[in-house]
Amino acid sequence: MDQIEIRLCKTWDECLQCEELQKRIWEMPDYRDVVPANLLITAAKNGGIFVGAFDGGAMVGFAFGFLGSEAKSDGSARRLKHTSHMLGVVPDVRVKGLGAHLKWFQRQVALTQGLDLMTWTYDPLQAVNAHLNLARLGAIARRYYRNAYGDMTDALNAGVASDRFEVEWYLTSARVSEHEHGRATCEGYAEAQKIYRVEWDDDALPMIAKEEAITGEAVLVEIPADYNALKAMNRALAVQWRERTRQTFERAFELGYVACDAIRKNDRDGRARAFYLLKKDVTGCES
C-alpha cells in the first residue's frame, strides 16, 4: 500500500480512466453497464464522492457514490446519506486490502459533508465482499432485494439473478469505531443455530442437504466460500444456492434478524467455509 495514493477525483482524465477500469474489473461486454465519465465528473463536482487509488499515474481502484436520502423511522423529514454505487479494485492488488482503504477514505469524506450514514448493495453470496462489508467495516444488512439490477451481462454476474443485500454503514456508531480501530470481536458464533447442513457432491462442490427453521437468538447461514468458482463449474447448483438463500435471508429479515458479521475458515477436512452471523440485537450499530 505504500506506493498507492488514494485521493478525491475531479478531472476528466480520471473519469476516463475509471470508465476503462470498470470494463477491466467486471469484464463488461456491454458499455451500458459502465458509469460514464460525464456522470462521474458531474456527481463529483456536486456533492458526490469519487475516490481513486493510483499506482504511479494509473488508477487501480475506485469508489463512487452520490448524495441520497431515506425516510426516518419516526416519520419525520428524510435523512440524508451517501449512496455508494460502485467499489472496484484490479485483481492483482485486492489482496493488499485496497477495497477497505477506499471505503475508510470514502467515510472520512462523507463525515466532512455532515453525513452519518452510507448505504450500498452487494451480492450476499460473494463471501469476500461479505467479509469486507460486515467483518472489516462494521456495516450491517437487513434488507434483501430480488434481482435488483435485472439480468446482468458482465463476467461476475451473468447467468444468475442479481439479488442484493443493502448495507447500512453508520459512520459515527460505536460499532464502526471499534472496527476502524481493530477492537471489534466476533461473538455469538459458538452458540448460534446453524440453519443449513451442507454436504459436498462428487465434484467437491457444496450443496444444502438440510435446512432448519429459524428459531435461535443468533443464527449462522452458510454460503459458498467461492461462489464464482461454483458458478463456473455448475451453474444449476449456483442457481439453487441463490434461490435457497434468498428464501432464508428474506425470512430472517422478516423476523427481525440483522446480518452483522461474516466469517471464513477451513474445516477439519481443509475445505474453505463461509458463514453469516445474524442476530436480533446488534448493540451500538446505529449510535
Percent of the chain with pLDDT over 90: 79
Dist CA 171 CA 67 (whole Å):
15
**pLDDT at position 62:** 98
Tell whether the model's pLDDT for residue 240 goes beyond 90: yes
Give residue-wise pLDDT tens across range 210-229. 999 999 999 999 999 999 99
Give residue-wise pLDDT tens across range 156-177. 777 889 999 999 999 999 999 9
**pLDDT at position 112:** 98
> At residue 73, what are phi and psi to the nearest 5 degrees?
-65, -25
**pLDDT at position 267:** 92
- pLDDT band at 27; cut points 50, 70, 90: confident
Strand 218-223 with 193-194, pairing: parallel
Minimal CA–CA distance to 171: which of 287, 262, 70?
287
Dist CA 206 CA 77 (whole Å):
46
Exposed/middle/buried for 264, CB within 10 Å: 0-12, 13-18, 19+? Answer: middle
- pLDDT band at 153; cut points 50, 70, 90: confident
User: Domains of the chain: which residue ranges?
Assistant: 4-180, 193-279
**pLDDT at position 28:** 82
Name beta bridge partners: 277.
220, 261
Amino acid at 258: V
Tell whether the model's pLDDT for residue 16 goes beyond 80: yes
Per CATH, the homologous superfamily of domain 4-180 is Gcn5-related N-acetyltransferase (GNAT) (3.40.630.30)
**pLDDT at position 157:** 79
- Model pTM? 0.93
